[in-house]
Amino acid sequence: MVTLSQADIETFQTDGVVLIRGLFADHVDTLRAGVARNMADPGPYASENKKDGETGRFFDDYCNWQRIPEFREVIETSPAARVAAQLMQSQSVQMFHDHVLVKEPGTSMATPWHTDGPYYFVEGHQTISFWSPLDPVTDATLRLVAGSHKWEKPVLPTRWVSEESFFADEDAYMPIPDPDAQSMRVLEWEMMPGDAVAFNYHILHGARGNTSTTRRRAFSLRLLGDDARYVERPGPTSPPFPGHDMVSGQKLREDWFPILKP
């Protein structure tokens, strides 16, 4: 059973990120089967992230948990919702979406530095993403800037391949920093399958390419807490969820985004 210490909770609140060993350890085979099903039958938002000059294959896709039974099983039976409630200090936990990211051996393209929050149509202090590798990772692990969820201005969202701004109003955002050049506190861990990094939606993060000889499959789960509310953005969001009919300040509709806890 995965148990959290008070130090884990305090670290998540302070740094916006904490490592949880073995969160999905009992579900690795199920998630691997789900990723295989997802790659064989991609959803409407799947991307190959093809960029001139880059080698290998970087596949990602999201919002498939309702059609891929393996993902639904893990979301409903793993300790993720319970752990999310403790880390967020939230009474409730609501589903947002799933995300699969696969870097095949020899994939040179890095996951660019970004924060997830500005792409989403939801805001709140109580948000959490779990990023879990399904293969052992060293260099291709997730890298995160501690405390970046408390920055005064959100980081500019861009399109990963074209590097164009996602929204027109660039003045509303801060430029994407270079954490290594700016000596920021970057956290990263060697991880085993089923380990998970938990982080706030506004944490700056990225990942190197996968220059190893083994695959790097990762499953991400994005959840919401008590104070999360729908917010209007200056353009279509990612994921878009067309036809949702929600208005600013509203809790996300539970028929699309079910309550996982209680």
pLDDT of residue 85: 98
Distance, in Å, from the CA atom of 64 to the CA atom of 67, rounded to the nearest integer, reads: 6
Evaluate if residue 14 carries a pLDDT over 80: yes
Provide the 8-state DSSP code for 107. Answer: B
Q: Which CATH superfamily is domain 6-232 in?
A: q2cbj1_9rhob like domain (2.60.120.620)
Per residue in 28-45, pLDDT tens?
A: 999 999 999 999 999 999
Look over the chain and give the mean of its residue pLDDT values, rounded to a whole number.
96
The DSSP result for 17-60, as a single string, is: EEEETTTTGGGHHHHHHHHHHHHHS--TT-B----TT--S-EEE
Question: What pLDDT is stored for residue 45 in this prediction?
Answer: 95
Does the structure show a pLDDT above 90 at 97? yes
pLDDT digits (tens, 9 = 90+) for 138-188: 999 999 999 999 999 999 999 877 888 888 788 889 999 999 999 999 999
Q: What is the pLDDT of residue 162?
A: 80
CB–CB of 130/221 below 8 Å?
yes
CA angle 164, 143, 31 (to 5 degrees): 95
For Cα atoms 186, 115, 182, give the angle at the middle one, nearest 5 degrees: 35
pLDDT, tens digit, 9 for 90 and up, residues 186-239: 999 999 999 999 999 999 999 999 999 999 999 999 999 999 999 999 888 999
Distance between CA atoms of 216 and 137, rounded to whole angstroms? 7
For residue 161, the model assigns a pLDDT of 75
Angle subtended by helix axes 69-77 and 28-40, to nearest 10: 150
Instruction: Enumerate the domain spans of the chain.
Output: 6-232
Q: How many residues in the chain?
A: 262
Banded pLDDT at 7 (limits 50, 70, 90): very high
Report in angstroms the alpha-carbon separations of 146 from 1, 57, 141, 162, 179.
27, 29, 15, 27, 10
227: which residues sit within 8 A by CB, 6+ positions away? 90, 124, 125, 126
